[in-house]
Structure 1
């Protein structure tokens, strides 16, 4: 099966003034409030968010990075993928392009750009990094670095069907509106844990991806 191009624009309910989330305002906040250098999940001086408390004491997270890609339009949007349905883990879930660090990757930025090119054919030349999120440690044992970057609106995607079923945009204003940040309770290992949930039309953005969007919100708009 050959590789194919898919880009879908979907409608959703955005309840907040779009001017409050313009590209110019986003850039100003990013310059002031995002991390300027890639953090280290194992550094005790680094703020770590996510699910570290669910891991065994002393567990060293496996390094990974994702591209938190902002489409650089006057009314920006974030780029997401939907994982292929036959993957061994996290099949069908919404995610950011990205994955675990390869031995040859010199930095989290290199990992995020390589994975985005492999998964959705995103040309690295169209990506401009603007900062980093706090490390996000997952219950599955990964320490994920969110690389926040602008994507040129002229981008085109060629999806790798073995990894990605679809790619789509969600308006930045929708994701940065606090009323769209929900919490769900889910059973896990005989107990119950709380997970972030941000619905968008028929899409279900939840778990680690929604948690990283919440970290982006906290970084840009929090106290």
Structure 2
């Protein structure tokens, strides 16, 4: 008997399966990179810092929910934006999974022992100077969170069924480094999920659910 499409069980199964198909060029073939081919050559010339974000699916019955943060307005990069918990990979981190779990614990108090990593997405090459690895994970409900007020203003969850519905994937554009840059946006209950975060959500849709 198959699991409901948007359950954490099915998310885990699909995450594991697609992780095995990632190649060195997978990042070029989906999400923001596919919408902005002119930026691919540019970002390849940049010296990027390694970072990781935690895409945590809370096991909420038939419809898992992804955890998002609202960053504080005082941060130097991506201030005030909606993001997945995450940050730079440190020398002491064993791998990107460890980095993503550590950052989630530091930012929102999510106990890393409750995080089950189930796969990765292709790296996201950000024009802000980071090579971001999205780590896909499942978290059981019932955890408690304590926000780091220096980094996070708020934390909230969005149903996977909403995020994986392409009807909710709007597009916009702006000028970046003298050229037009296209991006995804996914407004949800007054919150504007856009930019890198929405681009990562779009890749989840394209690789796991499309």
TM range (shorter): 0.7 to 0.9
Counterpart of 2:26 in 1: which secondary structure? Answer: coil
Is 1:62 paired with 2:49?
yes
Is 1:161 paired with 2:149?
yes
Higher relative contact order (CA 8 A, sep 6+): 1
Off by >6 Å, runs of 4+ in structure 1: none
Residue from 127, 143, 151 that aligns with 1:139: 127
Please report how far the alpha carbon of residue 88 of structure 1 lies from its aligned counterpart in structure 2 after TM superposition. Answer: 1.6
- Aligned match of 1:5: none
- Paired residues for 1:162-181 under 5 Å: 162-181=150-169
- Cα pair 1:36 1:132 within 8 Å, conserved: no
CA RMSD of aligned residues (A): 1.9
Residue from 120, 136, 152 that aligns with 1:148: 136
Is 1:53 paired with 2:40?
yes
- Aligned match of 2:188: 200
- Paired residues for 1:109-128 under 5 Å: 109-128=97-116
Which blocks of at least 5 consecutive residues in structure 2 are unaligned? 34-38
Which blocks of at least 5 consecutive residues in structure 1 are unaligned? 1-18
- Cα pair 1:119 1:159 within 8 Å, conserved: yes
Counterpart of 2:128 in 1: which secondary structure? Answer: coil
Q: 1 CA distance for matches of 2:153 and 2:17?
A: 36
Is 1:28 paired with 2:16?
no
